[in-house]
Chains A and B, each alone.
Chain A
Amino acid sequence: MTWEHADKTAIVGVGATEYYYRGQSEPRTIYDLIGEAVLKACDDAGISVREIDGFAYYSGASAGYTDKMDTADIMEMLGIPEVRFTAALTSGGGGSAGSIGLASAAIVAGSARYVVTIMALQQAKQRLGTVFAAAAPDPINSFLQPSGLVGPGHLMSVLARRHMHLYGTRREAFGEIAVSTRANAVNRPTAIRREPLTMEQYLEAPMIADPLCRLDFCLETDGAVAVITTSTERARDLRHKPVLVRAAAHGGRREWGRAFAWMGMPDEYFASAGNRPIADRLYADAGLGPADIDVALIYDHFTPMVLMQLEDYGFCARGEGGPFVESGAIRYGSGSIPVNTHGGQLSEAYIIGMTHIREAVEQLRGVAVNQVDGAEVALVTGGPASLPVSGLILRSE
C-alpha cells in the first residue's frame, strides 16, 4: 500500500547562488550565501520570504561541517516573522534527500505551511576532503584516524576495493561514471568542470587512495541552495507546476551505520552503499519500482558509491553495477536510466546533495539543461554516509 501522504506535499521553489571553486566565495559570508539562496527560492515559488514558517535541515543544521545554520539568525536577517517548525536530520550528507521528507512531515502534521531546506558551505578554512585528519581524534576516532584514512574518500576506497574483489568490478566502471557525468556538465553554465573527459585521461589521473584516483572524488566547492516545500493544495496556486513528493525515507541499518567508524559490516553491507533498506521503503511507499524512474539523481561524492547505489536501488543486481555502467546504461540520451544529468558533484558542484534536488525539480518542470524527454518520475538519493542515508521520489503532476 502506498504511503498515505504520497503526493500531498510538493516542492515549489528552488534557489541557488552561483557555485564557486573551494574558497572563491570569500569575502562573502555563509549567511550572505544563505540569504541569496532563500530569497531566490521564494522568488521562484512566488511567495514572500515572510511566509516561510518552517525550517527542515539535515546534517544537524551544519553548513558544510564547520559552520552552523541558526534559524533565529536567518529569521532576523531576512525578516521572517515567526517559525512554527525547525528541525534537522542528524549526522551528515546522508540526509540530504530525506530532508524533504522532514519538510513534508511538518506540513502534513499541520505544523508549518512553507518549509525551507537549506545547505550552504564554504571551504576556505577546512577542506572537507581531509576533515577527519583535522579533527582531534576522540576516543572512538582513535581507532580509525591513526590508519591515515584521512577523509570520506579514503574510507570509501576500502569499500570499493571489496566490491572489486567480490564481483570483479573494474576501474573502468568507476571511470565511466566520471566520464559520463562530465559529459553532462559540458553544456552547463553552472558547472565548475566543463572540459570533456576521456577514459584515457581518467586512467592516467593521479591515484589518491588506490583504487580511487582524483577523478573518482567529487569537487570541493562553495555555494548555497534552498528548496521550499508546501502542501500540494497550496502549490497549485503558485508560480510553477508543482513537483510532488511521492515518497521520502531516511534511516538505515546498524550494519551500515558501522561503516564510518570501525568497518565491521558484514560483506553484503561492506560492498554496498547502505541505501538498500531506504530503496525498499521508498518503492513500497511510492507504489513504484526502479523501472518507473525516468531520471536518477544519485549522490556522487565518490564514483564507486554511485555504482553501489545503482545496485541498492535495483537498477541492476548486486555485483553487476560494473558491467551495467560500462554498457552505457547511465548515459544521458542513450542509456536506460540517465544519471546525474546536471553533472553531479563530480563535475558541476558539491553542495552536499542539494544540487540533485534542484536538478530533479528542473527535470520534472521540463526545463532542465539536459532534459530527459517526458520525465515524470525522479529519484534523488542522499549519502552514502554515516546514518541516516536517504532517498526521495518526486513526480510531476
Chain B
Amino acid sequence: MTVIAQALPGDNISITMDNCTAPFWEAAREHRLEVPKCGACGTFRMPPRPYCPQCQSQEVEWTEISGKGTVYSFALCNRSPFTGEEFHYVPVVMDLDDAPGIRLVSNLVEVEPSAVSIGMRAEVAWNPIRDGWVLPIFRPTAE
C-alpha cells in the first residue's frame, strides 16, 4: 500500500501570538505567506522579533513572498504526536526563494515519504487549525 505523508490534524494544533508575530498569522489566515523584513537594512528575520538582528532597527516591512522554496532538511515520522498511532508525516526545514537567510519549519504533504529528498522543490499549501487560524505547509512541485 502506498503511503502518503499527511498534514497533522488541525483540530490538534493550537498557536499563540504576540504583537510581533500576529501579522504572519493574520496573512496566513487569508492564504498569504508574509514574512518580516527590516525596514532599515532589508534583512529578513524569522520568527518575527521586535528588533533586526543585523542593525537593531525596529522598523519592519511585512513582505508577501511566493511560497516557493527548497527542502533544506527533513525527518520522516510514522507516529501521531497526539495519539501515538501509525500516522505518516514529514517535518521539513524550508529555504524560501524570496527570503534568503530565513527558513520555515513546516510539513511536506501529498508525497510518498520515501520520495522526499533534500533539494526537492515545494510550494506553500494551507492547513486549517484551531480557532480559525491557518498553518502554512508545503507540497512538492513539478518544476
Contacts and interface: CB of A to CB of B under 8 A. Distances in A.
A207 B78 contact: yes
Interface string A129-166: 01001001111101110111110001001110110010
Interface string B76-104: 11110110000001011100000001111
A264 B16 contact: no
B88 to A, nearest CB: 10
Contacts of A159: 73
A208 to B, nearest CB: 7
A387 B78 CA distance: 30
Interface in A240-298: 254, 261-264, 270
Smallest CB-CB A-B distances: 7 pairs: A210-B76, A142-B15, A157-B75, A158-B73, A209-B75, A143-B47, A150-B81
A150 B83 CA distance: 12
A122 B38 CA distance: 44
B3 interface: no
Contact of B73 (A148, A165, A212): A165
A165 B23 CA distance: 35
Interface in A367-391: none
Interface in A153-197: 154, 157-159, 161-162, 165
A162 B17 contact: no
21 contacts: A130-B81, A139-B16, A142-B15, A142-B17, A142-B21, A143-B47, A147-B105, A148-B81, A148-B89, A158-B74, A158-B75, A158-B93, A159-B73, A162-B72, A207-B78, A208-B77, A210-B75, A254-B53, A261-B47, A262-B103, A264-B101
Contacts of B46: 143, 262, 264
Contacts of B13: 146
B75 A154 contact: yes
A208 B47 CA distance: 27
Contacts of B74: 158, 161
B63 interface: no
Interface of A: 130, 133, 136-140, 142-144, 146-150, 154, 157-159, 161-162, 165, 207-212, 254, 261-264, 270
B111 interface: no
B27 interface: no
B70 interface: no
B76 A209 contact: yes
Interface residues of B, number: 37
B47 A158 contact: no
Nearest to A206: B78
Contacts of A148: 8, 77, 81, 89, 91, 107
B93 to A, nearest CB: 5
Contact of A161 (B47, B75, B77): B75
B73 A138 contact: no
A322 to B, nearest CB: 17
Contacts of A140: 21, 47
Given A148-B89, A149-B91, A264-B103, 8 more contacts: A136-B14, A140-B47, A142-B16, A143-B21, A146-B8, A154-B77, A263-B93, A263-B103
Interface string B49-83: 00001000000000000000000111111110110
Interface string B39-52: 00000001100000
Given A148-B107, A154-B77, A262 B72 contact: no
Contacts of A162: 72-73, 118
A137 B135 CA distance: 14
Interface string B1-43: 0000000100001111110110000000000000000000000
A162 B72 CA distance: 8
